[in-house]
Each structure stands twice: as structure tokens, then as C-alpha cells.
Amino acid sequence: MNRPVGIETEYGMLCGSGGDDVDFAYEAAMLVRSAPLADCFRGWDYTAEDPRADLRGTRVRRLDQDPHDLRGNSAKSRNLSREELLADTVLANGARLYNDHNHPEYCTDACLSLHDLVAQDKAGERVVWRAQQARNAAVGDGSHVRLIKNNTDYHGRSYGCHENYLVRRAVPLDALIAACIPFFVTRQIYAGAGKAVHESGRSRAGGFQISQRADFFETDVGINTTTQRPIFNTRDEPHANPQKYRRLHVIIGDANCSEFATALRVGATALMLDLVEDDAAPRLQLRNPVRALQAVSRDLALTQPLALADGTTIRAGDIQRRYWEAAQRYRGRDTETDWVLDEWGATLALLETDLTRLRDRLDWVAKLALFAQASGGDAIDWENPAVLRLDLAYHLVDPGVSLYHTLARAGRLRRFVTDEAIDHAERTAPAGTRAGVRAACLAKFGDHITDMEWGSITFRHNGAAFALPLTELWGTAVDRQQRMVDTCQTIAELRQIVEQGGGT
């Protein structure tokens, strides 16, 4: 990748017997706090964050909230302090785990390679699975809570898997929006996680579709994330040098179990952003992007014509092919870029000619094959509750019962990283990034840390506070900071260097 990228995943929870009597706020907080983590930091500094700042140069008075979102509904959560409820935790690998909108959320820090990113994302699955085990052991009920890496509870509520891409602020915002919208609407044909339900408004009907999230988007551009969801999100929180960078906060995407699908989704998106920065992106404008998004999700044959603003029509696969053809200019840049271009092109070709051959790579195709197998050759009854249970079982994080893990162990789903790489990612920050600096500070001077956030670490020494800025995500500045932390033997030495300006 030609830029740092991170993934933040909210996990669904099945708690006890389910129903409206579950205090999901409390359960999410207790699960996060149960995670058996070594060398972690409990806490988070929110003072530098402003989720109401908009990339369009304004600041909204409030963010809209979905009235149907899960809320704490008992004294259990109301009796928790804000810190106890959020359960903010920074891990030894530089990642973050906390309770976000009553879901446990795992955030990787930015990574510089697809290999590191997929490994860090999979490490997050292991972390929350162990948290599930620990929580159930504490309650004394092995099925008290089960975590799911999906995006809907099938009752009209959705939770996200967001990607974060560093983008140069000098890129015109209008050009960025224009290129992203048709790309995001159509990348679901290889990035969708598949779903055995149609959810329109608050109604539900059986019927398979490609994307778990498509039903929950209502507008083209906007700042909200939990209601009136936009295809292009305009939140302006760079978590980096704000004069140099934007953070493209991509909320339109499914939580992939397939390692291949995650790598392709992120790799293709990163190449699309390279095209935008080089003013080389295809010029396409959908007439109604939200309608097109939902049409593509229901078009399993991938033949639905999508209306463009100029009066012509085009298929989703052809839109993706336009971006893929434009991105050929980067072929030969490095082996990772060539892998993305090769697999992107091969996937688009198979989507047109032999969809079933992608059941070892794409979540939605793998799930569709599972449903067909379970039906024994008969027509699939999408209203059958057993189909919904099969759908959920694919996404369970417990590798002992997850259908995804069953397929992967049997060699029926391609791997992108090894188990050893995931083991390493659980313990180690992604190479060459500020996450490495954060992790080194936590390991070496953790007893002196009082606050952490993406862009800084605050220490206390002899009653005085000092902060190490982390506004660069990679590059020579980060390399200098890493050498500084590795070289310093005491907190006094670190403080002296930082206060003398050596920490930037």
C-alpha cells in the first residue's frame, strides 16, 4: 500500500437468551474488561477528538443517533462510571479495544502492508474470542455471550467495520468524493460478506444479498455514522498532522471473515486513492448512488444496469473494471501492488464467467455455496430459521464452532496470512509505524503513562507531565522516535530528550 491503513471492527453479541432485557452496554463493557491482556494500558484521552468536525469546513451541532440502536436498559450499566463503561484499553501491539455504541470494538493502528493489516485484524478476532471465554468463565456459563464478526442483528440494527486511509489534504475534496462513491457502491461484489435477509426500513424478509451493510445507507455524503449513514463519510478527525493529512473514514464496508477478501478490499481501495491523488481516477457519476448500492447488493447475477448521471447505464463489474484498468499504471511498483492488480482482475473475470470458483475467496460466494449444500439441491427456503442460524454460524469468532473457521481448516477458503503471523501480530505492533513507538513506550515506560490517544502519549515523572507527539504515522520522524525510545534507559532520559525537542 502507498499509505497507512487501519481497520476498526465492532463485534455483534449474542447474550444469554437474547431479547430486550439484555443490558448490552454493561455486557460490552464487562467483556472488554475481561480480556486477558498482558502489558496493556487502561484508559484513553478524548480531548483531541472532535467527531462533529466536517471535512467540508463546518462543525455540526450534534450527531444524529439511531433511536433503535442498542442501549443500556438496567441499573447495571447506569451504575458504571464513564471510564468503566467505555473500558478503553491499549494493547501491547498498539491496537485499541473498547466499548463503542454497546459493541466491543477492536481497532488496529495504521499498517503499511496488507500482510500486516490482515494479521492485525485477525489478531483482533483472537483477542475478542479470548475475552468471550474469560467473560463466560467469570459468569459460570459457557454460552452467556457469543461474539459475531458480522454487521447486523437481523432486527434492523447494524454495526460497522470501518477502514481508515491516510490521504493528502491537498487533494480536492470534491474529486475525492466523486471517485469514492461509485467505487464504494460497487466494490461489494468482491468485498461483501453476504446475508440471508433483506432489511428495508425496519421490516425483514428472507432472501440472499451480497452485502450485510447495503440496506443501512440512506444518503450520498454526510457526517453521521449510526443513522442517515452516508456512502462517503465526512468526519474530519485525521489523528495525524491536520495540515498535511485527512483520514478517509470509510464506514461503508462489511466485516470480512475471509482473509483474501479483506486484503483485496483494502488493496483495491488503496489503489483507487492513489488514482485520486494522481488525478487519474475514472470519471463516473451514478444517478442515484444509494439506490444503486442496494440494487447491486441484491443482484447475484451481477447483470443489473446502473443508471449514470449522463443517461447511460453500466454494470457494477464494469465500474470496478474501469478502476482496475486505470490502476495498471502502478504495475511493477512493488510485489504487493502486483498481487492486488492480479487478484482484482482475476476476481472480476470470474465474477462474470464462473462465480462458483470464487467460493474459496469471497465470503458471500462461500456462504451461498454453504446454503446450497445444506438445501441438498432443493430451492433454498430463505424464511427458514435454520438458514439464519447457518448465516450467523459462519461469523462466530469461536474457531471451534465457526463455519468460516471450519472451511478454512479444511482448505476450502484461501489464507492470506499464517497462524504464526497472527501470533506475532497479537504481541507486536505493525512494522515501521507509530504503533511501534506506542507499543515500545507501553512496554518500557508503562508505569509512567497517564494518557494515550492516537496522536500522543502523556507521561508523568517527578510530579510533572510531558507528552510525546505521534502526529506522523510512518516515515523518518517515526523511525527517529522508535530509535529514541529504544535507546532511552530511564523515564528521566526520555523526558529530557522530549522536552529538548528531540521527540518530534
Contact residues for 163 (Cβ-Cβ < 8 A; gap 6+): 5, 6, 7, 250, 253, 265, 266, 269
Query: Within a 10 A sphere around the Cβ of 61, how many other Cβ atoms?
Result: 6
The grid coordinates listed for 471 are 502526529
What is the bridge-based pairing of β-strands 245-250 and 161-168? antiparallel
- The catalytic residue positions are 100
Give yes or no for a contact between 320 and 348, defined as CB atoms under 8 angstroms apart. yes
Q: What is the rounded distance in angstroms from the CA atom of residue 347 to the CA atom of residue 443?
A: 42
The one-letter code for the residue type at 231 is I
Q: What is the rounded distance in angstroms from the CA atom of residue 218 to the CA atom of residue 495?
A: 49
Residue with cell 457494477: 316
C-alpha Rg value of the chain to the nearest Å: 22
Intra-chain end-to-end CA distance of the chain, in Å: 25
Residue with cell 472480476: 348
Helices 335-353 and 114-139: crossing angle in degrees, nearest 10, is: 80
Task: Give Cα separations from 293 to 253, 273, 280 (angstroms).
Answer: 11, 20, 24
Of 252, 154, 149, nearest to 199 by C-alpha is: 154
Query: Length of the chain in residues, anyone?
Result: 504
The grid coordinates listed for 283 are 470519471
- Compute the Cα dihedral for 385, 391, 394, 397 and give only its sign: negative
Give yes or no for a contact between 185 and 291, defined as CB atoms under 8 angstroms apart. no
**What angle (nearest 5°) sits at the alpha carbon of residue 411, between those of residues 410 and 415?**
130
For the stretch 442-448, contacts whose Cβ atoms lie closer than 8 Å and that sit 24 or more positions apart, written own/partner, are 442/39, 442/40, 442/41, 442/90, 442/92, 442/94, 443/39, 443/92, 444/485, 444/488, 445/491, 445/494, 446/39, 446/41, 448/491
The grid coordinates listed for 196 are 440471508
Q: What is the rounded distance in angstroms from the CA atom of residue 435 to the CA atom of residue 79?
A: 34
